[in-house]
Amino acid sequence: KQEVTQIPAALSVPEGENLVLNCSFTDSAIYNLQWFRQDPGKGLTSLLLIQSSQREQTSGRLNASLDKSSGRSTLYIAASQPGDSATYLCAVLPQGGSEKLVFGKGTKLTVNP
Amino acid sequence: GAVVSQHPSRVICKSGTSVKIECRSLDFQATTMFWYRQFPKQSLMLMATSNEGSKATYEQGVEKDKFLINHASLTLSTLTVTSAHPEDSSFYICSARAPVWSGGSETQYFGPGTRLLVL
């Protein structure tokens, strides 16, 4: 059974700092991995999607890497801003055509001005 | 990007009543929609997968008679919580995926969620 773990559960940093969020998964047989952002009481916004054949994806100040063999992904946020404060969720789509995303519990990020 | 809406965004109801939540894909056709439930400080738990024109597939432990799902069209799926009880209070989120053959990708687009409070 696929399990996704995110460390740390919460992170507080000063504005301007570069930071890394971690995601690990137990079964390397995945189709893709996604990073989402969730603001309090809101739905999910897809940030980056990495296919299993890819190593990383970049969007603006965000860079996500994927090491499928070791079951790890990182989300790097450069020059953090208070507006980046949110919960960041990692999810994998297992191979096998189930279409069922498996989510981690998320990392709650607070960027202090 | 694609937009998915949910209605209502927040609902408070009395115990024993039924509540219907709508999920709409606004600018694309979604053959598959997903319903999730999220408890405070917890991750999203998939409840069921809804395919247009067929019966929903429920995850283990989810009562299909309690959580009725109808995917009547390519842009609308509804979740009805029947005879709601306080333990059903939660944040319900839907997502939609466009089929690859229509130009869609594997990305699921999520709705803004519906906060249900059962008194």
pLDDT at B104 over 60: no
Number of helices (H) and strands (E) in chain B: give both, helices first. 0, 11
Structure tokens, A80: 């953090």
Do B41 and A100 count as a contact with CB atoms less than 8 A apart? no
Q: Which residues of B touch A87 (CB under 8 A)?
A: none
* pLDDT for the residue A25: 97
C-alpha distances (whole Å) from A51 to each of A54, B18, B104, B108 are 5, 40, 15, 14
- Alpha-carbon span B2 to A75, nearest angstrom: 23
pLDDT tens figures, A71-80? 999 999 999 9
pLDDT of residue B100 exceeding 70: no
Residue B1 pLDDT greater than 70, yes or no: no
- What is the pLDDT at residue A69? 93
Q: Do B107 and A34 touch (CB under 8 A)?
A: yes
pLDDT at B107: 72
Give the pairing of strands B57-58 and B67-73: unpaired
- Work out the average pLDDT over B18-24: 97
Within an 8 Å CB–CB cutoff, is residue A7 touching chain B?
A: no
pLDDT tens-place string over residues A41-97: 888 998 999 999 999 999 999 999 999 999 999 999 999 999 999 999 999 998 876
A-chain residues near B49 (CB < 8 A) = 99-100
Report the alpha-carbon distance of residue A54 to residue A61 in Å, rounded: 19
Q: How many CB pairs under 8 A join A and B?
A: 51
Q: Does A103 touch chain B (CB under 8 A)?
A: yes
Nearest to B43 among A45, A99, A103 (CB): A103
Asked if A49 has any chain B CB less than 8 Å from its own CB, the reply is yes
pLDDT band of residue B43 (cuts 50, 70, 90) is: confident
Q: Do B113 and A43 touch (CB under 8 A)?
A: yes
Structure token digits, residue B113:
């969620």
Question: CB contact, 8 Å: A76 with chain B?
Answer: no
**Amino acid letter, residue B32:** T
Long-range contact pairs involving A62-69 (C-beta distance under 8 Å, separation at least 24):
A62/A35, A64/A33, A64/A35, A66/A33, A68/A28, A68/A30, A69/A28
Q: Is the predicted pLDDT of residue B101 greater than 70, yes or no?
A: no
Report the C-alpha gap between A5 and B16 in whole angstroms: 37
Query: pLDDT band at B62, cuts 50/70/90?
Result: very high
- Whether the CB-CB separation of A16 and A111 falls below 8 Å is answered with no
Largest Cα span, chain A = 45
Identify which of A43, A49, A89 has the shortest CB distance to residue B112: A43
pLDDT at position A24:
98
- Determine the Cα–Cα distance for residues A74 and B31; give it in Å rounded to an integer: 31
Min Cα separation B114/chain A (Å): 9
First to last CA, chain B: 37
